Structure 1
Amino acid sequence: MSNTLSPAQLDALRRFDTCTVANAIESFNVRLRDVGFADSSVRSIFPKQPPLVGYAATVRIRYSGPPVEGRVAVERTDWWNKLLAVPAPRVVVIQDVSERPGFGSFIGEVHAQVLKALGCVGVVTNGSVHDLPGIEAAGFQLFAGSLAVSHAYVHIVDYGKPVEVGGLKVSPGDLLHADQHGVLSVPPQIAAEIPAAAERLLERERKVIELCRSGETSVEKLRDAVKGIFHEP
């Protein structure tokens, strides 16, 4: 992929929380401010873990069944080659297309360990997850809509196609940034420039915070200080 970042560039993105990355993206005016992130129906299961950064490998699942009539279910191993075609680090993005997303869980400890061995750093899903202690101990990250105790009849419907999770549309290879606040897609054309933009924004914010703490605050000083923060030029 021509827009794949170097390990150093990916590390630079990990230094910032997802809110800061979102603010930095806004400063480039490359997309509307109300798109590019998942809503609060998808939340971090391990909010104390550091930011997740990686490229999306997409899967659609369904828990009800047995699997779709007239066809054999896609085996969980069938899509691994497709998964490995996505650059590392990989984030598996799973859309549960069931009538009740999350009733059956696709990701537990064993599956998470398999995915980690295949170069994945986490999972993002509108569905459910289970076996939390073992997954957390492995340092594997989870962003999910719910928790579940059973996998029910969960099976893969297809993979390697666009999906939608929490209102966020994700295509294979999309760069994602996620932390305790939520999940964000990163426009590839500006990804390498985001750390520098984030540093500039944080410096402006620091000046506002210092002013607020100084005891010498006035409306005029505040108006001047927040320029470039609340409304990017």
Structure 2
Amino acid sequence: MNDELLTLLRSVDTPTVCNAIEVAQGRRGFNAFTRGTMISSAPDDPAIVGYAITAKIQAVKPPTETPDVIRARRMAYYKAMAEGGKPSVAVVEDTDFPHAIGAFWGEVNTTIHKGFGLSGTLTNGVMRDLGDMADDYLVIAGSIGPSHGFVHVTELGTPVTVFGLTVQQGDLIHADRHGAVVIPPEVVDQLADAIQKMQDTEHLVLGPAREPGFDFEKFEAAWAAFERART
């Protein structure tokens, strides 16, 4: 992914990318997206885009492994986040979901991950410190809560599932307040053209609908043109 495409992807929302993937594929039915309502730490911030660095956490119960094992895995987690290829996104599954209570994402961890150069976080887990989280570091999470519980890292680099979306280490993620998608590698080189085509197609309806005197007759004509052009 070149810098020009990265800039473009950060400038559009996730529904646009979801639609553009179908345009690039030439068919309906793309389904590598989250299900349900997620929460954005900063709804007006640009989308997060990057390659997934995956992990799993738990927090409801204390860990059963020894403290040195838990600490070593936590340090391995931070090392992976710091040294993973950029742009990158932390994709962290809380395996306590849907009863997650451990707010792993707050002032400390967003500041650390931003310092490591990550683009943001996608998680089904909990976030907190909403007024003190790192600026320009977006977290798309499952819930908000006050406590970190017994939060600890249980796995690194394995497939994770966040709101119905399975993510592999290295998958290309696009996420914002609407949720997230995994961008198929075979469409990456076509995405810029697909986004432009999709926006041009939508304008066939949006343009007339925003003009004075728009009525059903003009809608019918616009919609016919839209249907001829869309996927």
Which TM bucket (shorter chain)? 0.7 to 0.9
Question: Is there any run of 5+ residues in structure 1 with no aligned partner, and where?
Answer: none
Matches of 1:152 and 1:42, distance apart in 2: 21
1:17 aligned partner: 13
Q: Work out which of the residue numbers 125, 128, 135 in structure 2 matches 1:127.
A: 125
Matches of 1:83 and 1:32, distance apart in 2: 35
Matches of 2:85 and 2:95, distance apart in 1: 26
Residue 138 of structure 1, CA deviation:
1.8
Q: Work out which of the residue numbers 123, 146, 154 in structure 2 matches 1:157.
A: 154
TM-score by length of 1: 0.87
1:26 aligned partner: 22
The 5 Å alignment of 1:64-213 reads 64-69=60-65, 72-73=69-70, 74-98=72-96, 100-135=98-133, 138-213=135-210
Residue 177 of structure 1, CA deviation:
0.9
Q: Which amino acid aligns with 1:64?
A: V
| Larger helix percent | 2
2:39–2:141 contact (8 Å) kept in structure 1: yes
Matches of 2:97 and 2:66, distance apart in 1: 20
Q: Which amino acid aligns with 1:54?
A: G
Matches of 1:75 and 1:31, distance apart in 2: 43
Matches of 1:138 and 1:100, distance apart in 2: 28
TM-score by length of 2: 0.88
1:45 aligned partner: 41
Q: Which amino acid aligns with 2:224?
A: D
Say how many residue pairs are matched: 226
SS at match of 1:37: coil
With over 3 angstroms needed to count, the CA separation of the structure-2 counterparts of 1:182 and 1:147, relative to structure 1, is same
Q: Which amino acid aligns with 1:148?
A: G
Matches of 1:64 and 1:29, distance apart in 2: 42
Question: Is there any run of 5+ residues in structure 2 with no aligned partner, and where?
Answer: none
Matches of 1:121 and 1:65, distance apart in 2: 30
Q: Which amino acid aligns with 1:224?
A: A
Q: Deviations 1:91-122 (Å, cap 9, x if unpaired)? A: 10110112654211112211111111111121
Residue 77 of structure 1, CA deviation:
1.7
Residue 227 of structure 1, CA deviation:
1.5
1:14–1:52 contact (8 Å) kept in structure 2: yes
- Over the residues paired in the alignment, what is the CA RMSD in angstroms? 2.3
With over 3 angstroms needed to count, the CA separation of the structure-2 counterparts of 1:155 and 1:32, relative to structure 1, is farther
Q: Percent identity?
A: 33
